[in-house]
Amino acid sequence: MTDYIEINVAKDGRHFFATAERSIHTYPLDHYEEVLRTFEEKFPESEGYKITAVRWKSRGEHIYGF
């Protein structure tokens, strides 16, 4: 299973940038929380930024030969 966090940053209601799938994985769990705190500091809401985060989960399922 691959879990990762995608962080999106908007500026004045328009997409500004997003992290890639390979950027932030959920292990250790506190890693993404540290990244989010840093983003909040660098991209403050008072300057028109909005940060959202999505935790994506995927898994594979054996369907043949096992």
- Segment 15-42, tens digit of pLDDT: 999 998 888 876 666 678 888 899 999 9
State residue 32 phi and psi, 5-degree precision. Answer: -70, -30
What does pTM read for this prediction?
0.73
Average pLDDT over residues 4-17: 93
Q: Is residue 27 part of a domain?
A: yes
Distance in angstroms (rounded) separating the CA atoms of residues 52 and 21: 15
Under 8 Å CB-to-CB from 44, ≥6 apart: which residues?
none
Q: Can you give the pLDDT at residue 32?
A: 82
Which phi and psi angles does 36 have, rounded to 5°?
-60, -40
Tell me whether residue 50 is in a domain.
yes
Domain ranges, residue 17: 2-58
- 64 falls within a domain: no
Would you say residue 8 lies in a domain?
yes
Count of the separate structural domains present in the chain: 1
Structural domain includes residue 41: yes
26 located within any domain: yes
- Residue 66 belongs to some domain of the structure: no
48-65 pLDDT, tens digit per residue, is 999 999 888 877 777 787
